[in-house]
């Protein structure tokens, strides 16, 4: 008898597991299971209007107490999502290189001085996210401008070794959805009514039939212990068949959501028919300042669709780079727009020692930071509009937001502008303000790992366990 190798057995079972996200309607998934299913890290550059050098109060940080608090003016785009977010006062990245943009960027996700450690996104991708078809998705909006590298990027697979994000949303979409996903033929080549083309449920069941045949073939080649495990998987597949039979023909997984599709009568993107409304965007326009809002929206669309379809559990979205030369006054349709004046992100962050709204740099800096918060809010809303289990994708997610410095003019690394949204499958109770006298942000990352089912005990250079108040 030819016994299959362990590699062959894992390959067959892995093929079934990889197919499941495309076969199950997420609205019929299990109820809250006490575990976050995904983590997203959203970065924006050059800090926030925090406490000024002359002592003007922060326009970012909240005031009040844990359950009765007011958002800072810059956080106003989150008013409608206030109950979905944890707000933090008093988190620190430590004193090393405080006052430095690069020093903050390397510590942001590593929680290690000089970037001498693995970043939390890479850790989660390697551990709880390791079984996903794409264990880590790193997307940028103009994050590789002028061949940026090194400390301009925030994801570290190992000590002192950052990697570059994908700045092209079209190429990111093609890489994620180019294989293993049923994509409708181009218009004009659709099968005619009554043709032999299989329906969507039939296509799903055909995948299961192949999986069952592979399992039955293996069953005759393994011993009793392995055979018992295969029987369990076979029964799971039969249960999937019964559930597919019960689905209404027109119900689609992952309906709604995202900025692509679903508007003006257009069909919403699904896992059978992923979409990216890229318009005329091409590689020659990737670094045109006026295209930045479009590119960022597309990258968020790509990541939300990929996560809705089970392609990845861990993603990073990097908006530009620290000390950013992004000309935000060229964003069409925004309050920042000024055809006759170029105002860059880093330029505006050096607004002076006071919060003087009569000064152009400060006024534009507040508008810029508020705009970045509105993009974070759009990401949260895209997750909230996609049903999952007995709730939404946001209910099962953890979505971190942060920058590399606190106040943009002082560049300090204390009282950092960090947010955490989502309920983590019931592990996090958002809608609160958590305040600390001084607490290292590494503990927040430990709490995120615990919420995803990982038993992380220490992280970065200085940690003491999961951040108090985060985990339910």
Q: Are 345 and 45 in contact (CB under 8 A)?
A: yes
Q: How far is CA 381 from the centre of its chain?
A: 12
420, β-bridge pairs = 86, 400
Which tokens go with 303? 């990541």
Round the average pLDDT of the chain to a whole number and report it. 84
Count of CB atoms situated within 10 Å of the CB of 169: 26
Among 402, 319, 419, 407, which residue's Cα sits nearest to residue 81? 419
pTM: 0.78
> Is the separation of the CB atoms in 141 and 293 below 8 Å?
no
Topology (CATH level 3) of domain 31-184+254-451: Alkaline Phosphatase, subunit A (3.40.720)
Residue 32 CB contacts under 8 Å (≥ 6 apart), including other chains: 389, 390, 391, 395, 396, 423, 425, 426
Mean per-residue pLDDT for 340-358?
97
Q: Is the dihedral of CA 175, 177, 179, 183 positive or negative?
A: negative
Measure the CA–CA gap between 91 and 413, rounded to whole angstroms.
Answer: 9
For 9-71, give the DSSP string: HHHHHHHHHHHHHHHS-GGGS----SS--EEEEEE-SS-BS-S-TT-PPPSSS-EE-SSSEE-
For the ranges 99-113, 163-177, 230-244, the lowest mean pLDDT is seen at 230-244
Question: Please, which pLDDT band fits residue 262 given cuts at 50, 70 and 90?
Answer: very low
Pairwise CA distance, residues 432 & 212, whole Å? 48
Specify whether the CB–CB gap between 363 and 372 falls below 8 A.
Answer: no
| Range in 17-21, 269-273, 460-464 the model is least confident about | 17-21
Q: Are 46 and 349 in contact (CB under 8 A)?
A: yes
270 confidence band (pLDDT: 50, 70, 90):
confident
């Amino acid at each position: 008898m030819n016994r299959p190798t362990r590699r062959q057995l894992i390959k067959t079972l892995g093929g079934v597991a990889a197919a499941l996200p495309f076969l199950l309607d997420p609205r019929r998934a299990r109820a809250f299971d006490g575990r976050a299913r995904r983590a997203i890290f959203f970065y924006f550059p050059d800090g926030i209007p925090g406490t000024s050098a002359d002592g003007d109060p922060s326009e970012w940080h909240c005031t009040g107490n844990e359950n009765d608090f007011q958002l800072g003016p810059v956080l106003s785009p989150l008013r409608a999502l206030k109950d979905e977010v944890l707000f933090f006062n008093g988190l620190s990245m430590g004193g090393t290189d405080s006052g430095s943009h690069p020093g903050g960027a390397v510590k942001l996700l590593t929680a290690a001085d000089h970037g001498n450690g693995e970043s939390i996104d890479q850790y989660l991708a390697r551990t709880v996210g390791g079984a996903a078809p794409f264990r880590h998705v790193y997307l940028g909006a103009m994050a590789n401008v002028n061949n940026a590298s090194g400390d301009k990027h925030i994801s570290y697979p190992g000590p002192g070794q950052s990697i570059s994000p994908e700045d092209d949303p079209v190429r990111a979409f093609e890489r994620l959805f180019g294989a293993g996903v049923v994509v409708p033929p181009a218009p004009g080549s659709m099968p005619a009514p009554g043709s032999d083309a299989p329906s969507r449920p039939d296509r799903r069941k055909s995948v299961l039939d192949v999986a069952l045949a592979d399992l039955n073939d293996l069953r005759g080649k393994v011993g009793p212990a392995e055979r018992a495990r295969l029987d369990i998987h076979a029964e799971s597949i039969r249960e999937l068949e019964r559930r597919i039979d019960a689905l209404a023909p027109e119900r689609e997984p992952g309906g709604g959501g995202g900025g692509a599709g679903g508007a003006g009568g257009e069909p919403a993107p699904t896992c059978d028919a992923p979409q990216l409304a890229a318009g005329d965007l091409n590689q020659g326009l990737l670094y045109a300042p006026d295209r930045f809002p479009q590119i960022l929206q597309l990258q968020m669309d790509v990541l939300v669709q990929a996560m809705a379809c089970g392609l990845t559990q861990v993603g990073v979205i990097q908006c530009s780079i620290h000390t950013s030369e992004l000309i935000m006054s060229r964003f069409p349709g925004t309050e920042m727009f000024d055809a006759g004046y170029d105002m860059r992100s880093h330029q505006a962050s050096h607004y002076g020692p006071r919060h003087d709204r009569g000064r152009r740099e400060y006024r534009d800096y507040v508008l810029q930071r508020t705009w970045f918060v509105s993009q974070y809010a759009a990401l949260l809303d895209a997750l909230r509009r996609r049903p999952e289990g007995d709730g939404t994708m946001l209910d099962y997610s953890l979505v971190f937001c942060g920058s590399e410095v606190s106040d943009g003019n002082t560049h300090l690394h204390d009282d950092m502008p960090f947010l955490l949204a989502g309920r983590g499958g019931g592990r996090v109770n958002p809608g609160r303000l958590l305040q600390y006298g001084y607490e290292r942000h590494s503990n927040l990352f430990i709490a995120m790992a615990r919420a995803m089912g990982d038993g992380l005990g220490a992280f970065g250079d200085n940690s003491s366990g999961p951040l108090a108040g985060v985990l339910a």
